[in-house]
Amino acid sequence: MNSAIPENSTAAAQEIHTGKTFERYKELVVLVNKYNTQYHEGNASDISDYEFDMLNKELRELEAEHPEWVNPETPTQKVGGKVKREVGMTVTHRVPMLSIQDVFTQEEVVEWVRKVKSVHPDALFSVEHKVDGLSMTLRYENGKLMLAETRGDGFVGEDVTLNSTVIPDILQEIDVQDYLELRGEVYMSRADFEKYNEEQEELGKKLAANPRNLAAGSLRQLDPEVTKRRRLKMFVFNVQDGPDEFMNNHTKGLARLASLGVHVVHHKLCATEEEVIEEIDKIGNSRGDYEYDIDGAVVKVEQTTYRAEFTAGSKYSAGHIAYKYPPEEKETELIDVELAVGRTGKITVTGILKPIRLCGTTVQRVTLHNQDFINEKQVGIGGTYLIYKSGEIIPALKEMVKPPQTVYKIPDVCPVCSQPTVREEGMVAIKCVNPLCPATLVRSISFFTSRDAMDIKALGETYIQTLVDNGYLHSYADIYHLKDYRDELIEKGLIGKEKNTDKILQAIEKSKENDPAKLLTGLGINNVGKSTAKAIMRHYSSIFALAEAMVEDLTGIPDVGEITAKSIVDFFSDPTDKAVIDDLIKSGVNIKVRTEASNTSNALGGKTFCITGTFSSMGRKEIEALIEKNGGKVSSSVSKKTSFVVAGEEAGSKLDKANELGVAVLTEEEFLALVQKPEA
């Protein structure tokens, strides 16, 4: 992503460039480009829509003051996102699919209406729902749907015709024999979104961030059956091209479409600025009652021939503005506090609220984070608090309105096992450190068996829960004693019939041969993940040797800080944990590092790599293994500390980030050459 500023500015402007204002402008360019990419690629955004709108507004204001700073690659000059080849071929739009200029105050709306009226006193306005979804255009020829296309960058989009056939709202035939091109918004209802997330949660899979992102990802699925199961819907909000009866007057065109069975967006024809504002308020006050999310109200000039006179730049449709509503906030009472214990022993604190409606859903729970947050916000039962939805999805507590009698204090004992809890130095989380706590046991064992740890295939959390409930597992070391109960397990059918039971027991036996780094990962020591475990075991001959290490020894290892080092020392000093390790060793689990000279090198020592895209000669896992085998470290994200980004075909936002930060980018061939000849 090129965010460079043109060098042909005036001398005076160049002098201004060195000031703080220009530094802020460059920062805004990077931020808006980043969040714009997240939005259009259907990824969960790091900030709320409102926060993004405010950044965009600030950027536009600076560009209005300093037009000499603007260049074609700044985000205000680009429409939409990059086209991704996930579904079909790319297609050039016959009519550009431009954005709508946003305004954030009703005074700006009135000013715009008056501007239009000053030129055309007879101008009328359509006020419509700005549905929060994915924009799509439909092309009809001789009454048949010939093409459905996503917006893409506004000029080139994706052909999603096949997937459009499984969306019930999209007519495959329409009683219009001339060419007709319609633009609308594909969306997912809140009910269908919540149903999808409930199903994902039951399957233990990742939840979708919001209906808009899920709708975008669903429309671009390779398999139309997946799109069909997501139950997408669509409203048409504009006629891009067609006969005069559809084109001359906007709302009359929508009414004609509705008479033909087309699902058209909610709209209201208004004659005065007062009527426009009244309808905007009406939509805003009712937005929680709709089955879909809206993020604003669109105001359009009714007479389409007038629109070209009211442009807002090459990025925006002429004759339109979109009023963006501020985040919805409501006051409610905290009626209870609920505690839970996670796999690592961390105690999560959830506030139970007197139910309120926010952005169309009932909100009864809000995360209270930790004791510092509780103290800062004066959170306590009986208090009244202002609640909003972060990113329009996640309920969050903004501030205290009416104080409680007492600020809540997280208990000093675990709510499950009643053992004392601890708050580690420099940390905000409060934890139960009892390794046999029932709340952590199933999750700890599940983590031990996971792919990044001991990789015991087929022994999933459901089976582990059953084995814990039936008294077979009290720690992850007990996994290696299950073979002693083979016949009993088969008879009871706890982990399947004979074939499945033997399959799991064989996977358990095979895991004994794993590299000690996988065992160290599986132990679940605080701050010791897969990469850190691999780095540590390059410096020790065995788990025994690591168990004897002191904090100062461990902090000499790159990327191992004092907190991590102390966690490791504390783990191997704990009598309960030592007993579990002894049990694992007696069961034959490998604790020694294989030291064949040919096995590893330090060709990439001290270097951090991020991998993105697809590669012709190997998979990403193979590249990752090659990096680690040669002493390098793999990171899932790009930062200033990244040494290289290895980029293949269809590299995405990580490549953009590397270019922004000036991180060196390697092709597949360049990476392989670096492994073979690191001094190059």
**Residue-wise DSSP of 149-169:** EE-TTSSEEEB-HHHHTT-TT
Nearest Cα neighbor of 211 from 241, 233, 237 is 233
Segment 351-390, tens digit of pLDDT = 999 998 876 668 899 999 899 999 999 999 999 999 987 5
**pLDDT exceeds cutoff 80 at 433:** no
Q: Each residue of 388-424: pLDDT tens digit?
A: 875 556 788 999 999 999 999 999 999 988 988 988 7
Confidence band, pLDDT 50/70/90 cuts, at residue 298? very high
| Rounded alpha-carbon distances, angstroms, from residue 412 to 335, 341, 419 | 21, 13, 9
- Can you give the residue ranges of every domain in the chain? 11-77, 90-323, 329-422, 438-586, 608-676
Q: Which residues pair with 350 in a beta bridge?
A: 338, 367
What's the CA gap between 483 and 154, in Å, rounded? 61
Assess whether pLDDT exceeds 90 at residue 638.
no
* 3-state DSSP of 455-479: CCCCCCHHHHHHHHHCCCCCCHHHH
Q: Which CATH number does the domain 329-422 belong to among 3.40.50.300, 3.40.50.720, 3.40.30.10, 2.40.50.140?
A: 2.40.50.140
Q: What is the DSSP letter of 317?
A: -
Domains 329-422 and 438-586 share a fold: no
Q: If pLDDT is split at 50, 70 and 90, which confidence band does 622 have?
A: confident
Q: Which of 56, 512, 43 is nearest to 296 (CA)?
A: 56
SS3 188: coil
Q: Which tens digits make up the pLDDT trace of 232-255?
A: 999 999 999 999 999 999 999 999
pLDDT digits 0-9 by tens, 120-130:
999 999 999 99
CA gap 146, 172 in Å, rounded: 9
pLDDT at residue 7 above 50?
no
Backbone φ and ψ for 370, nearest 5 degrees, come out as -160, 180
Tokens coding 396: 């969050």
User: Which architecture, in CATH terms, is 608-676?
Assistant: 3-Layer(aba) Sandwich (3.40)
Residues taking part in catalysis: 130
Q: 438-586 is classed in which CATH architecture?
A: Orthogonal Bundle (1.10)
Distance, CA of 308 to CA of 310 (rounded, Å): 5
CA dist., res. 529 & res. 343, Å (int):
14
**Fold of the 90-323 domain:** D-amino Acid Aminotransferase; Chain A, domain 1 (3.30.470)
- Count of positions (residues) in the chain: 680
pLDDT in tens, 131-181: 989 999 999 999 999 999 999 888 988 899 989 999 999 999 999 989 999
Using CA atoms, how far apart are residues 138 and 165, in angstroms rounded to an integer?
A: 11
Task: Take residue 256 and report the two structure tokens written for it.
Answer: 């004609």
pLDDT of residue 479: 96
- Is 132 within 8 Å of 211 (Cβ atoms)? yes
In CATH terms, 11-77 corresponds, of 1.10.287.610, 3.30.470.20, 1.10.3720.10, 3.40.50.880, to 1.10.287.610
Report d(CA 644, CA 641) in Å as an integer. 9
User: Please, what is the Cα angle at 181 between 177 and 182, to 5 degrees?
Assistant: 120
Among residues of the chain, what percentage have pLDDT more than 90?
Answer: 45
| Nearest-angstrom CA–CA distance, 287 and 326 | 12
Query: What element of type H or E holds 340?
Result: strand 329-341
> Is residue 81 within 8 Å of residue 36, measured between CB atoms?
yes
